[in-house]
Amino acid sequence: MRLELGNIYVKDVQFGSQTEVKDHIVYINKEELLGVIEDDRLEGLDIDIVRPGDSVRICPVKDVSEPRVKVSGAGHIFPGWFDDAKTVGEGRTHVLKGMTVMTVGKIVGFQEGIVDMSGPGAEYSPFSQTINVVILGDKVEGLRQHEHEDAVRNAGLRAARYIGEAARDAQPDEILTFETKTLEQQLKEYPDLPKVAYVYMLQTQGLMHDTYLYGVDVKKILPTFIYPTEVMDGAIISGNCVSACDKNTTYHHLNSPVIFDLYEKHGKELNFVGVVLTNENVTLLDKERSSNYTAKLVKSLGVDGAIISEEGFGNPDADLIMNCKKLEAQGIKTVLITDEYAGRDGASQSLADGDQAANAVVSAGNANALITLPRMNKVIGYIDAVNVIAGGFDGSLQQDGSITVEIQAITGATNELGFNKMGAVGI
């Protein structure tokens, strides 16, 4: 599959009389957009625009996506949700770089996140560096949590598609090309380079811990092979409510650093063969089934090594180590990407599971590290959520508007795709 990404760099986002891209400024007709995302399950819908450096705190953040539009090739952005479920990953897609669509709402209460647009908290989230179109949606009385999540998720995806459509006829500032050939062709292309696969673990631990592939709940599938360009075209959608620091938002999937970096080294240092998607399960039987099938798939690709990235922590640590052990036992070298929950002093055990086979690990940082975030002039959402949010505690919110939390509460702080500035060095 060969995909071109046409990046249009956004200098500003403003409300205007019509939705369009003009001179690198995205104008949005607010009333029209509200009509696009209208849902009888939501009330009090509102839209804000926030920019890097603003004295703004956004909380509790649900998901983040990026406006894109397919201008050639099969399918549409976010296939399986709206028009059809055609296979994507080919042709050209235009991307409005430097902006996001961000959804906010009290869905679970304890497993959404914080984004500060300025101050020390801004250093921990990539979304402090983007211009964010923020959608706040409250549930109507009696709506259950998983229905609220579904309504807010769909509002965010609709908004990203609506805004992205404005980029259809825009002239890209750059066009990046990515290609992965058929397996037979790919394995033969660089015979002198090590062949590498990417094992992409997705959060799927039960209701409201969902991730979707072409609209299908990934907990319901066996591990599967996909082309990396499919991920870039919106084949994976986040629908989970887990700790904000290491949750992969839809934006993270669209811009996975692991995939982009493997493409960067493709044909130079390694032969990037493709992606094996796998789930993270709750029961031991399900973990065994998926890790066995993952090992079988990766072995069948004929690769020398694999990168394995985790999503979440605790229970999924077992899935991570199972995948590692079974690949290593087949002679396939692995590198693991995870984060740590090592206590506020960093002295506790970092993962809930481990094995001697896991001897090449990249850490995205310690999620238990404590930080105090100063008061912001404006809060979008509900600031009292910080007292119950994962990483927060009773008393996190101070009378002066400042908050003290673990960085676990900050969206993207220890992202296990490496989409952050955090890390750790073994000594």
Any domain includes 416: no
The pLDDT of residue 393 is 86
326 lies in a domain? yes
Between CA 115 and CA 170 the distance in angstroms is 30
Q: Which of 59, 241, 245, 324 is catalytic?
A: 241
User: Which stretches of the chain drop beneath a pLDDT of 50?
Assistant: none
* Three-class SS state of 24: coil
Query: What pLDDT sits at residue 108?
Result: 63
The upper half-sphere exposure of residue 120, i.e. CA atoms within 13 Å in the direction of its Cβ, equals: 12
Give CA angle at 384 (400, 47), nearest 5°.
105
The answer to whether residue 417 is domain-embedded is no
Does the residue 415 lie in any domain?
no
3-state helix/strand/coil string of 100-165: EEEEECCCCCCCCEEEECCCHHHHHCHHHCCEEEEEEEEECCCCCHHHHHHHHHHHHHHHHHHHHH
Please give the Cα distance from 136 to 122 (Å, whole number).
20
Task: Indicate the length of the chain as a whole number.
Answer: 427
| Burial readout 129-156 (b: 16 or more C-beta within 10 A, e: otherwise) | ebbbbbbbbbbeeebeeeebbbbbbbbb
Q: Report residue 381: phi and psi, to 5°.
A: 115, -135
Show the CA angle centred on residue 220, arms to residues 83 and 243, nearest 5°: 90
Backbone angles phi, psi at 346, to 5 degrees: 75, 10
What is d(CA 398, CA 214) in angstroms, rounded to the nearest whole number?
A: 43
The pLDDT of residue 348 is 86
How far are the Cα atoms of 239, 290, 292, 311 from residue 206, in angstroms, in the given order?
Answer: 11, 15, 20, 14
pLDDT digits (tens, 9 = 90+) for 346-375: 888 888 888 999 999 999 999 999 999 999
Interatomic CA distance for residues 274 and 180, integer angstroms: 7
Q: Which two tokens stand for residue 179?
A: 């290609």
Whether the bond into 52 is cis, omega within 30 of 0: no
DSSP tag of 386:
G
Residue 162: φ, ψ to 5°: -65, -50
What is the pairing mode between strands 195-203 and 271-280? parallel
> What is the predicted pLDDT for the residue at 392?
85
Distance CA 308, CA 201 (A): 7
- Residue 314 is assigned to a structural domain of this protein: yes
Instruction: Specify the number of domains making up the chain.
Output: 1
In a domain, 287, yes or no: yes
- Please report the pLDDT score of residue 426 as a whole number: 62
At residue 345, the pLDDT reads: 86
pTM: predicted TM-score of the whole model, two decimal places: 0.95
Range(s) of the domain holding residue 236: 2-409
Cβ contacts of residue 266 below 8 Å, gap of 6+? 272
Q: Is 205 inside any structural domain?
A: yes
Kindly list the distances between the CA atom of residue 53 and the CA atoms of 80, 82, 216, in Å, as whole numbers in the listed order: 36, 35, 38
Determine the residue type at 351: L
pLDDT value for 385: 86
Token digits for 79? 């296939």
Burial class (CB in 10 A: 0-12, 13-18, 19+), 333: middle
Annotation says 241 is catalytic: yes
Q: Is residue 389 part of a domain?
A: yes
- C-alpha to C-alpha distance for 427 and 416, rounded to whole angstroms: 21
Quote the tokens at residue 143: 């709506």
Instruction: Give the Cα separation of 376 and 339 in Å (integer).
Output: 28
